[in-house]
């Protein structure tokens, strides 16, 4: 176990609090293992009726996975330890998705990458005025994994493709509007919400509804038509051409944003979401995402993207291939190809 996750029971409620505030509660492998072990234990405990998932302190719910660890793996052990991290993290994502007891995630603060992966499978997902939700992986040569393909491909219109490619940050009102959050509560009501859920774990829906307020007008709503029009194609070059043809500030801004992203992983994300939309089993989605992760981890763009954006903060990644045209269908096919049978991802 690890002190980076606080695990308690309060009466009939299990309680998991992420506790790595200096890293905005970014997930490490021991954290994933501790959470999985607690969930497994409570699944067989008739006295536990529901599970609360939150963070102990600080301004983030969970900023993602341990990116520095993954880059070190890509550079120094051929991706072996990184693949182990993805494999077990995805098992946790699937475990939460299939969990038979009610789960409540409090997405108060930064909720990105790996944080999305543990929040979205929960039956109840609470956003607040502090929520900042994003899947920003294409900016570091990764892709919206941890089940991102499943969730983003099931949003209305082409919003999921827009979020996957641009890494746009959503506030709590936008999360509620899009259905990424089930409830919108003021942050100062969260302590009361948790206390009442602990006292009455069979009344979660009612408690959250009673404490909910009407969120502010979601900013993204005004841009939905533009998003659906410009991001309509699953071909990345078509999206770029559509934005280039539009002479307005919004299109110019989104085009500039896409210019900072890895062309390889933008194409990966579009294929990922198109494939995810055809699947009817979350486990099949996670197996596909593990194949992608296993290969993208050791492609040049990941280590370079982390260097430029996170490590050196120079924001000058040298992508390879450098252009969308340089990313061949054969390259993408190879990233999605099945792994050897003994290397494929499997649920817990």
Identified catalytic residue from 54, 89, 108, 137 = 137
Active site residue 114: yes
Active site residue 172: no
Active site residue 202: no
Identified catalytic residue from 14, 60, 64, 65 = 65
Identified catalytic residue from 4, 145, 171, 254 = 145
Identified catalytic residue from 114, 117, 148, 167 = 114
Nearest to 219 by CA among 155, 168, 154, 150: 168
Active site residue 65: yes
CA distances 325 to 211, 220, 266, 328, Å, are 50, 30, 12, 7
User: What whole-number distance in Å separates Cα of residue 305 and Cα of residue 7?
Assistant: 34
Count Cα atoms within 13 angstroms, Cβ side, for 171. Answer: 12
Catalytic residue IDs: 65, 114, 137, 145
């Amino acid at each position: 176990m690890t002190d980076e996750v606080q695990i308690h029971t309060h009466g009939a409620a299990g309680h998991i609090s992420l506790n790595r505030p200096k890293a905005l509660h970014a997930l490490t492998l021991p954290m994933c293992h501790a959470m999985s072990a607690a969930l497994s234990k409570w699944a067989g405990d008739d006295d536990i009726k529901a599970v609360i998932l939150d963070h102990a302190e600080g301004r983030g719910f969970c900023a993602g996975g341990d990116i520095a660890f993954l880059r070190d793996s890509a550079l120094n052990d051929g991706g072996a330890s990184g693949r182990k991290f993805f494999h077990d993290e995805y098992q946790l994502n699937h475990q939460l998705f299939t969990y038979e007891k009610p789960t409540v995630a409090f997405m108060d603060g930064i909720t990105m990458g790996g944080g999305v992966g543990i929040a979205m499978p929960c039956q109840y997902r609470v956003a607040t005025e502090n929520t900042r939700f994003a899947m920003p992986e294409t900016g570091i040569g990764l892709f919206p994994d941890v089940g991102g393909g499943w969730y983003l491909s099931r949003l209305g219109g082409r919003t999921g493709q827009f979020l996957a490619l641009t890494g746009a940050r959503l506030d709590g009102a936008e999360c509620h509007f899009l259905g990424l959050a089930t409830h919108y509560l003021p942050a100062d009501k969260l302590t009361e919400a948790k206390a009442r859920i602990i006292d009455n774990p069979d009344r979660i829906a009612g408690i959250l509804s009673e404490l909910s307020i009407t969120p502010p007008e979601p900013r993204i709503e005004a841009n939905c038509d533009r998003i659906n029009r410009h991001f309509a194609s699953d071909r990345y070059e078509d999206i770029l051409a559509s934005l280039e043809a539009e002479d307005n500030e919004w299109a110019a801004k989104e085009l500039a944003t896409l210019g900072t992203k890895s062309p390889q992983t933008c194409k990966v994300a579009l294929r990922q979401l198109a494939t995810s939309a055809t699947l009817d089993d979350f486990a099949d989605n996670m197996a596909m995402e593990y194949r992608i992760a296993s290969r993208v981890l050791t492609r040049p763009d990941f280590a370079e993207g982390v260097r430029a954006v996170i490590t050196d903060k120079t924001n000058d990644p040298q992508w390879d291939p450098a252009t969308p045209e340089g990313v061949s269908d054969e390259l993408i096919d190879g990233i999605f190809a099945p792994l050897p049978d003994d290397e494929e991802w499997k649920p817990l």
